[in-house]
Amino acid sequence: MKVEQTAGKNGAISRTTSRMKTHKRRRIRYGRLSAALLILVMLITGLTYIFIGMTQWIKDYVAPPPITAIEQPTKLGMIAMTPDVKEEPVRFQGQVRKLAYITFDDGPSEHTATLLDILKQHEAKATFFMIGRQLNQHKEVVERLVKEGSYPGLHSMTHNYNKLYKSGSSSNFVKEFKKEQKMVQELIGFTPHLIRAPYGSSPQIGEKFRGDIAAAGFKMWDWTTDSLDWNLPGQPDKIVDRVSSSVHRDKEVILMHEREQTVQALPRILKMLEDRGYEFEVYDPSAHWIANFSGDTRL
């Protein structure tokens, strides 16, 4: 405002000079503003990098993934990724048969015998995905499980996330499963080929990794229904509800674990499945079908 008034009094030349001065001042002002903005952007970028770095560091060193037989929390996020199994329905005399494959992970354990007792009451068999390092402590129940027609599937030696996946290579993973396969062979005289990847095959197992598993002679199953039982201690009702609200396919592979709450929920789960017209099936190597998250036909 002041500039315009001065310019009005002193004529054209002064006006031009004033305008130039104003431009100069504006340039300086914009210059300062740009510098401030640049510093701000650099500061934010720097802080972001530090934050990402720290998060990664915390992830890697302060809180590594659980190394025990407890399933990782990301499994919760995997529900949405579980696709329908795109297979031809099994028919018997023109009727579509509804098949439920009950699977138990993380055994053998002190619960295996009770699970087998409950299965027996429903004339059901199950597929057990067992951890290698627990086999020798529960030798008898592993023998019983096979004798009663259940399938002794493999679930790695250690169930250790870092050991199995952190390098990104399949070599430790394949090594662990081969070792466990040999252990089962020596223990019961049967060589299982069906595996279940600890924490599921997605997202940690990519296409090349899957090829390596297939090349080592294994088949791999994930699941179609996650009971979330591992995360519901003391809440067998919720486990029953969860399975009940999830099953709807002609073929269901139901993920459960050898846990106290699962033992409590199992009779009701089996009853509910029977009432809904399901027959219980156990994995049959001679009638293998694809049940991995990626739909990979090599597995």
Give the footprint of Zn ion on this chain (CB under 5 A). Answer: 105-106, 198
Q: Who contacts 267 (Cβ-Cβ below 8 Å, separation ≥6)?
A: 118, 121, 122
Question: How far apart are CB 124 and Zn ion at their closest, in Å?
Answer: 21
105 is catalytic: yes
Rounded-to-integer distance, Cα 299 and Cα 51, Å:
40
Cβ 242 to Zn ion shortest distance, Å: 17
Tokens read off for 255: 């993920």
Nearer Cβ to Zn ion (122/175): 175
Of the candidates 111, 138, 155, 257, the residue annotated as catalytic is 257
Catalytic residue, chosen from 105, 106, 222, 226, is 105
Residue of closest CB approach to Zn ion:
105
Pick the closer one to Zn ion by CB: 105 or 176.
105
In the bound complex, what is the minimum distance in angstroms from residue 46's beta carbon to Zn ion?
41
Shortest Cβ 105–Zn ion spacing (Å):
4
Comparing CB distances to Zn ion, the nearer of 258 and 281 is 258
Minimum distance between the CB of residue 273 and Zn ion, rounded to whole angstroms? 22
| Paired tokens of 126 | 């199950």
Pick 98 or 176: Cβ nearer Zn ion = 176
Our CB check for Zn ion shows the closer of 180 and 278 to be 180
> Annotated catalytic sites, by residue?
105, 257
